[in-house]
Amino acid sequence: MQKRILISEVSIFIVLLIPSVWAAESYANEKLDLNLRLRPGQKYSVRLTTELKTSKTIGDKQEHESFMFAKGMGFEVKELEANGVASVKVTYRTLQMKVARAGGYRMEYDSRKQSITDGYSKIPAIEAVGVGEKFEMRVTPKGKIIELKGVEQMHTRMIEKINAWDEKYLKMGFYERHKESFKERRRLNIKSIHSEKEIKNMLSDIIMAFPERPLGIGDSWTDKVKIWGKNYEIEGTYTLKDRKQGTVTIGLSGKRTLEEEPFSWVNNEGREVGFKIVGSCQGRFEVDQQTGSLVRSKIKLRFKGEVIDEEAENQMAEPILQEEIITVEPMEQTIG
């Protein structure tokens, strides 16, 4: 009698389990239409960190440089249009920098510990004046930034801040004699470093661009990956790896081989020369399935570059190795 009861219980368990397995398989195979689904009033912050190491071979010597640049960025959704385009206020909240150049130059800066009023020699002024500044972007549900607003006004505020700072800390005779040309150079530097192009490059590391078609687990799409300080692009393959507990995981791979045509580059003499780059990139992205926001990501790029200048007298190659790691993570977990 007991054996019959046990068999009946097992049968019931199997009957109940089969629909659960089918449901799990159906969920895993369900196509996803990845989109930004931002809501008015939504706020979040991330930390974007770029670590760059460069090695140059000049003759029989090697020179090494390293650079770390971390920005704490705040986002606040102000408005959502009927077509899903979101207007988002973007704020530079914090800045951290570490620079080590050939010849012994070292510099460290942390806006949480050092104010722009701390003195000339300690502060990377062109970058530091951005802390606290704001602008607005309009972004589509597929992650394409279609407009930036308030950038010119932001430039004006930055220029006013840096001019006041220069007046206070640059008391040397050179500055007094060439004040106007110095101010003009500062103005051009700010407009270049904080240009719309550079801002969009930065935001492309934080806001992921999604494909137009729905995807299943294992499906892939291609898109451009910016390399070598965002100056060049290669083809990257993005693959939907997994979806679990509301998080979508996406992988990235890309490479450039010797067989491909060199990029063009304008040297210091104003002459266009070839620039051969070979290497690869790998990345992993975690996206919130409900909102489409990038929760965290890590991209590793390793490329070797070599100038090809047929008109140069010295035809000796001077290869440059560049290793870059770009990380995005929730700001609250990394910056107190």
Query: What does DSSP assign to residue 41?
Result: T
What pLDDT is recorded for position 156? 95
Alpha-carbon distance of 139 to 238, in angstroms, equals: 21
222 and 163 in a common domain: no
278 and 250 in a common domain: yes
Tell whether the model's pLDDT for residue 13 goes beyond 60.
no
| Residues 6+ away with beta carbon under 8 Å from 264 | 272, 273, 274, 275
Ramachandran assignment for 190, one of left (phi > 0), alpha (psi -120 to 50 degrees), beta (any other): alpha
Alpha-carbon distance of 149 to 213, in angstroms, equals: 29
192 and 251 in a common domain: no
189 and 76 in a common domain: yes
90 and 156 in a common domain: yes
What pLDDT is recorded for position 241? 97
Query: Does 32 fall in a domain?
Result: no
Please answer whether residues 161 and 133 qualify as being in contact, where contact means their C-beta atoms are separated by less than 8 angstroms. no
Query: Does 56 fall in a domain?
Result: no
Q: Taking residues 305-311, what's their average pLDDT?
A: 76
Domain residue limits at 311 = 208-336
Q: Which long-range contacts (CB under 8 A, 24 or more apart) does 65-70 make?
A: 65/100, 65/101, 65/102, 66/98, 66/99, 66/100, 67/97, 67/98, 67/99, 67/100, 68/96, 68/97, 68/98, 68/99, 69/95, 69/96, 69/97, 69/127, 70/94, 70/95, 70/96, 70/97
From 145, 175, 207, give the residue that closes a domain. 207
278 and 191 in a common domain: no
Tens-digit pLDDT profile for residues 184-219: 888 999 999 999 999 999 999 999 999 999 999 999
Query: Does 275 fall in a domain?
Result: yes
Six-digit token pair at 195? 């240009």
Alpha-carbon distance of 14 to 175, in angstroms, equals: 84
Tell whether the model's pLDDT for residue 176 goes beyond 90.
no
From 167, 182, 207, give the residue that closes a domain. 207
Mean pLDDT of all residues belonging to the chain: 85
pLDDT bin (cut points 50, 70, 90) of residue 314 is: low
Tens-digit pLDDT profile for residues 230-288: 889 999 999 999 999 999 999 999 999 988 888 887 766 777 778 889 999 999 999 99
Amino acid at 329: E
Tell whether the model's pLDDT for residue 3 goes beyond 50.
no
From 207, 232, 253, give the residue that closes a domain. 207
What pLDDT is recorded for position 230? 84
> Is the pTM of the predicted complex or chain greater than 0.95?
no
Tens-digit pLDDT profile for residues 56-108: 887 778 889 999 999 999 999 999 999 999 999 999 999 999 999 888 888 89
275 and 152 in a common domain: no
227 and 126 in a common domain: no
Tens-digit pLDDT profile for residues 93-151: 999 999 998 888 888 999 988 766 665 556 787 888 899 999 999 999 999 999 999 99
133 and 110 in a common domain: yes
